[in-house]
Amino acid sequence: MIHHLSIPARDPEHVARVLAELLGGYSGPFIGPIPGAWVGYQEDGFGSAIEVYGERTTLVPGEGDTMGTVRLGEPPQSVASHALISVKADRAAIERIGARERWRTRHFWRGPPGTALFELYELWVENRVMLELATDDMLPAYVKIANGKAQRALLTARHDVHVA
């Protein structure tokens, strides 16, 4: 289980507030060691959260036995990381919030070409960081295929992939 993840943002406070709205939870300043960071919690009893750091924040490994540290660098135009997140908001709320923020928000089905396995929304935070959002009614299809047995079966059905 992933309990929290971090994303960069130009306006961490605003982004954390919008994410908390989607998550149905709390947003506030991040009490950790990163100045200016904010966090949105889902209030699900598991500590599920999205930490939102200033866009110039990078995390780097520590030296020797010291923990990792923060450095400021050039902000990325976009990032490769993403996460699929269950939200309390319904489909209409996701679309309304995305439109209000002017963040690209689109509904898609995921799966190999020609096969729709599960659906989600792509919400592009500040139009550069993708979060995939799933409503309660979308989860059963995802959970059905998000496990080793189902993935092996899907791969076995493909003729171009060898399954060990």
pLDDT of 11-49, one tens digit each? Answer: 999 999 999 999 999 999 999 889 999 999 999 999 999
Distance CA 94, CA 134 (A): 10
Residue 124: which pLDDT band, with cuts at 50, 70 and 90? very high
List CB contacts of 96: < 8 A, sequence separation 6 or more. none
pLDDT, position 99: 98
Look up residue 102 and give its amino acid: R
**Can you count the helices (H) and strands (E) in the chain?**
4, 10
- Domains of the chain from N-terminus onward: 4-157 (3.10.180.10)
Q: In this structure, what is the dihedral angle of CA atoms 30, 72, 76, 15, given to the nearest 10 degrees?
A: 20
Residue 69, CA distances (Å) to 11, 33, 72, 164 in order = 21, 9, 10, 39
Residue 112: which pLDDT band, with cuts at 50, 70 and 90? confident
Distance CA 36, CA 78 (A): 20
pLDDT of 50-100, one tens digit each? Answer: 999 999 999 999 999 999 989 999 998 888 899 999 999 999 999 999 999
Distance CA 63, CA 77 (A): 28
